[in-house]
Amino acid sequence: MRINHNISALNAWRSMDQVNQSMGKTLERLSSGLRINRAGDDAAGLAISEKMRGQIKGLETAVKNAQDSISLIQTAEGALTETHSILQRMRELSVQAASDTNTDVDRNQIQLELDQLREEIDRISRTTEFNTQKLLDGKIESFRGTEDIKVVTGGNIDLKVVGVGGAFSATLSSTNANGTYTGTYTITPDVEGTYVVEVGQLQGAETSALDVRITQIRADGTASGIATLGAGHVLLTTTLTDSYTLYSAAGVGTTDFAISTVVNLASFTWDSSTFNIDDFGGSLPLNEIVDSAVVRVEATNTAANQLVFQIGANEGHNIVLGIDDMSAGALGLNEKSLKATDQDSAERSIMIVDAAIHKVSTARASLGAAQNRLEHTISNLGVASENLTAAESRIRDADMAKEMMDFTKQQILLQASNAMLAQANTIPQNVLQLLR
């Protein structure tokens, strides 16, 4: 028997110490509710769960973004609802003015109300905003699809494309246009790029031709394959189906064109990712038009100044929304076109207001579709967040039932270790019996 080292007591003490350490960790898990409180508890699990936590937080924020986006859309759509009501009243007044049962004095009174309603549409377009951001003034518009603009003799066509980057194509067509159709449009490139002027399927008189005058094609005023008419001026005259590619440096290009007795105008295509079209149209006067004309602009643009809504946890998880200019001018409701002072003007006003109603209806439908999409997005984000949270919980959270079971076991082991340590400490006392 040895008395310098009590091996049995040391074993009992070591076991009791291990139980104490295990009990301390169990108490920590029970008090925090987490299985992983530090990296040492589960290094791999901690790394995986932290990545999941980032995704979960991103999904939760995306839900808030989508909800804010819906609020923005509802703000814009609410304003357009009032614009719709105003347009319906305008149509009602135009129909009333179209009847010769009204005197000139009556029609003048109707015209006064039309003017006030037009100004209110402009005010709504200027002042509708969300979080100080204007919504209906055309600064976040997307030029796309087909745009029908009603014009009359002596009237103007205002076409505008703001901040166009990337490939852009547009088609102008004139219906029921008799006489001569003339006008100008301006292309303002930001940086060096190229575009194509394409004339296709001109229908009408055999002598129909399209004259395109372009200024500042290059810094030196020249263009490949095109005759130069003085510094910075190029005149391109073509008929039917000819195509030319013009190389444009930074500067302003202005195109004048005239079509005589043509049913369908030409097709103009700009193909470049390096310049913007700041003003398409401006003022296009129609001269000697017997019938009212419909000018159609068909265009697609994928890089306009649009709203981007972040609706996901990662980069690129977004949707884009454009809201067209809803001012009176953009709707074709200018002072010259919206007249009710005589029967013919009132008839044309009905047509113009109908086109404006169609444009507002299209904008509201687009906003409604975007809102429905965002509502489904919110539901999907909620499901994704729920499932990812469940996965993260399985890795990181403590199973309270299991931890309580372990804690009870450790309490029993601790009591047993204490008892065995007390017994082991009595073993050296047996040596005293040998010394008596």
26: its two tokens = 């169990």
Statement to judge: residues 260 and 362 lie in one domain: no
Alpha-carbon span 409 to 269, nearest angstrom:
80
**Above 70 in pLDDT, residue 192?**
no
Who contacts 429 (Cβ-Cβ below 8 Å, separation ≥6)? none
Statement to judge: residues 167 and 133 lie in one domain: no
- Lowest-pLDDT range of 41-55, 91-105, 118-132, 186-200: 186-200
Rounded mean pLDDT, 94-105: 93
- Lowest-pLDDT range of 59-68, 183-192, 232-241: 232-241
Rounded mean pLDDT, 374-402: 95
- Lowest-pLDDT range of 77-91, 126-140, 173-187, 318-332: 173-187
Task: Give the pLDDT of residue 97.
Answer: 94
Task: Give the pLDDT of residue 305.
Answer: 65
CA angle 141, 142, 144 (to 5 degrees): 145
| Burial class of residue 176 in the structure, from the number of CB atoms within 10 Å of its CB (0-12 exposed, 13-18 middle, 19+ buried) | exposed
Alpha-carbon span 187 to 116, nearest angstrom:
34
Contact 399, 407 (CB under 8 A): no
**Above 70 in pLDDT, residue 332?**
yes
Task: Give the pLDDT of residue 186.
Answer: 40
Statement to judge: residues 271 and 368 lie in one domain: no
Q: Which tops the pLDDT comparison, 154 or 78?
A: 78
Structural domain includes residue 68: yes
Task: Give the pLDDT of residue 8.
Answer: 85
Task: Give the pLDDT of residue 393.
Answer: 94
Rounded mean pLDDT, 315-338: 90
Structural domain includes residue 276: yes
Q: What is the band of 426 on the pLDDT scale with cuts at 50, 70, 90?
A: confident
Task: Give the pLDDT of residue 1.
Answer: 62
Statement to judge: residues 46 and 129 lie in one domain: yes
Task: Give the pLDDT of residue 141.
Answer: 60
Structural domain includes residue 184: yes
Alpha-carbon span 87 to 135, nearest angstrom:
19
Alpha-carbon span 64 to 43, nearest angstrom:
32
**Above 90 in pLDDT, residue 288?**
no
Rounded mean pLDDT, 232-246: 34
Alpha-carbon span 126 to 385, nearest angstrom:
39
Statement to judge: residues 148 and 289 lie in one domain: yes
Statement to judge: residues 288 and 347 lie in one domain: no
Alpha-carbon span 255 to 280, nearest angstrom:
10
- CATH value at residue 82: 1.20.1330.10
Statement to judge: residues 226 and 159 lie in one domain: yes
Statement to judge: residues 90 and 205 lie in one domain: no
Output the average pLDDT for the chain: 71
Statement to judge: residues 298 and 154 lie in one domain: yes
Rounded mean pLDDT, 165-172: 38
- The DSSP letter of residue 128 is -
- Lowest-pLDDT range of 28-32, 47-51, 188-192, 350-354: 188-192
Rounded mean pLDDT, 153-170: 40
Rounded mean pLDDT, 323-335: 90
Q: Is-above-0.85 flag for pTM?
A: no
- Which residue carries 């998880």 as its tokens? 317
Domain of 97? 34-139+327-397
Closest CA to 65 of 310, 337, 414: 310
Statement to judge: residues 156 and 289 lie in one domain: yes
Rounded mean pLDDT, 77-90: 96
- In total, how many domains does the chain have? 2
